[in-house]
Structure formats: structure tokens, C-alpha cells
A and B are shown apart, each in its own frame.
Chain A
Amino acid sequence: MNKRGINVAFPVVIFLTLNIVFFGGLLIFVNQASTGALVYGEAYAKEIALLIDYSKPPMQIVIDFQEVLELASENNVEREDVVRIENNRVAINFGKGGSGFEYFSDYDVDFYFDGDSLVININEREV
């Protein structure tokens, strides 16, 4: 390519590169926002609280928690710190803040991880 050719092509290349960078940045932003920790935290906290209220003890609920655990791992949150169910509240922690949601049932609720699944045991409270 001669000097004139370079002069014509150079602005085009820069123009295209800047556009790709701009729209690529927007795509990454939208993707991160839609799969963000806060969205997952809220959704899972509410889902678990509603499941507890909707359940009839004795009942065992198994929830696929793979995505949540991967997000937590990316944010250096230990597996045992991701979920907390106590005092009628379900709290989900991903390291960047977290979400808590209240449920109204007076059940004995305990949980554990079985692989990437969250297992919730719901029993009647012993008097």
C-alpha cells in the first residue's frame, strides 16, 4: 500500500476500532448488569423465602445453586457464607453487599450444600 492508501485507510480503521470498543463496552456492561450479584441475590433470597412459606413440613427442597456459587467464588466468598437462614430471614451474600428477605413461617429450617445444590430441610418446630 502506498502512502496515499495508508492515509485513506488509517482513519477508517480508527473509526471502526472506536465503534467496536464503544459497543463492545456497552455489551459487557449490559451483560454484567443482567448477571450481577445483586440481581441474583435478590431473586434467590425471595425465592427461598417464598418456598419456605409455601412449604408443608416435613419437606426437603433442593435448589440448583451452581451459578450463585460461581459468582460467590469470583468474589472470594466462602461457600458457607453465601446463604444464611436465621431469625425468619433469608440472606444471600456475594461479597458485594447482599440481600435479605423475611418470611413469616415459624418452622425449624436448616440447610446444607450437596455439591452445587442447596438442600433446605423444613420441619415443624418442636415445642
Chain B
Amino acid sequence: MLWGSKKGGEKIFSIWWLFVLGIVGVGIVGGVMVFYSSEIDVREIESDVMFNRISECLIDNGFLIEEVLTERFDIFGFCDLDSEVFGKGSSFYFNVSVFGDGKLLRKNILGGDFSFEKDCLVAEDVVAENYPKCKIVVLPVLYYESGVKSGEMKVMTASNNKLGGLNE
């Protein structure tokens, strides 16, 4: 027993018991600290939400919105995306290209941190925890060009948005 016992075996037991308590305590406290200090990772969900937002905005009942194929198309205003958030040092990235008739009809409707494009390709082959989480989808679309034609829209979205402090 702890203190007050005169038997040598029980003294050893009490030291052993303190040691066990210490290990258990440090283990539980350490485990809880590690578990709750890790961030809730929503980057994958965020790139998914961004993909849905862009694709639903640019495609209407399977038809590509006509303005998309014009050079002056402003995706930020059209899809209610904040151009400042997608500015320099952004935590987001998107790139939309449209293909039809075996040719590229419109490329690089993009915003955000361009380096994410390479990071996404690298992250496809290796496990890279701090790289952005990406979504790359090719969607079938219909578009008008002297009649209805079918084509494809490639959408790449990526997010590396992480938790910040209260006033960042």
C-alpha cells in the first residue's frame, strides 16, 4: 500500500503503482492534446463545394452558358465569387477549360494561387498532407455553334484553406 506500510514488498508496489499512474496520465493527456490540437480538415469538402458552385453556375440544363466562350467572360461577377479572395496569396484555386469538336474552345478561366495546379498533379501520386486538396472533373456539356454540339468542360478546383486566428 501507499505510505504507512512497513512491508518492503508493498513499498515496491507503491512505487510501481505511481509509475503506472504516471504513464497512464501522460498517455491520456498526450493523446487528448494531440487529438484536439489537430485541425478539422475541410479542404476536400471546400474544393467539392467550389466545383459544384462553378459547374452549376456555368451549365444550365446541360447547356454551357453562352458567355463562357467569350473572351471577356468574368467568372467572378457571374458566379458571385470574391475576386479579392482569389487574389495574390489565395488559399483557393480553380481552372475551367472547354473542349468541343476535338479542339479547345476556351481555356484558363481561372482564379487563385496558380501554383496549386502543379501541387494537385503531384498530390495525385504521393501523399502530401500540406498540399492543397483538389478535385478534377470533366463534364459533358452541350453548346451552340451553328446548331447544338456536344463538348466537355474540365473543371479543376483546389483548396488549402486553413484555420486562422480571430483577427487574421
- Contact code string A6-38 (vs B, CB < 8 Å = 1, else 0): 010011101100110010001001100110101
The minimal Cβ–Cβ distance linking A54 to chain B, given in whole angstroms, is 5
The minimal Cβ–Cβ distance linking A83 to chain B, given in whole angstroms, is 11
The minimal Cβ–Cβ distance linking B151 to chain A, given in whole angstroms, is 26
Flag if A30 contacts B39 (CB, 8 Å). no
Flag if B80 contacts A98 (CB, 8 Å). no
* Interface residues of chain A: helix, strand, loop or mixed (majority): helix
- Complex alpha-carbon distance, A56 and B40, angstroms: 25
Flag if A50 contacts B46 (CB, 8 Å). yes
- Contact code string B26-54 (vs A, CB < 8 Å = 1, else 0): 00110011001001101001100110110
Does B21 touch A at the CB level, under 8 Å?
A: yes
Which of chain B's residues have a CB closer than 8 A to the CB of A93? Answer: 166
Count A interface residues, CB 8 Å.
Answer: 42
Flag if B85 contacts A54 (CB, 8 Å). no
Which of chain A's residues have a CB closer than 8 A to the CB of B147? Answer: none
Flag if A11 contacts B165 (CB, 8 Å). no
Does B67 touch A at the CB level, under 8 Å?
A: no
Flag if A88 contacts B85 (CB, 8 Å). yes
Flag if B21 contacts A22 (CB, 8 Å). yes
Which of chain A's residues have a CB closer than 8 A to the CB of B85? Answer: 88, 102-104
Flag if B1 contacts A12 (CB, 8 Å). yes
Does B55 touch A at the CB level, under 8 Å?
A: no
Q: Which residue from A34, A50, A102 sits with its C-beta under 8 Å from B36?
A: A34
Flag if B36 contacts A36 (CB, 8 Å). yes
Hey, which bits of chain B sit against chain A, CB under 8 A?
A: 1-5, 21, 24-25, 28-29, 32-33, 36, 39-40, 42, 45-46, 49-50, 52-53, 76, 80-86, 91-92, 161, 163-168
Q: Which 10 A-B pairs have the closest CB atoms?
A: A98-B166, A106-B82, A11-B1, A11-B4, A100-B164, A104-B85, A33-B32, A15-B2, A106-B80, A53-B49
> Given known contacts A29-B32, A97-B165, A106-B83, what 8 new A-B pairs fall within 8 Å (CB)?
A7-B4, A11-B5, A43-B40, A53-B53, A88-B82, A93-B166, A101-B164, A125-B80
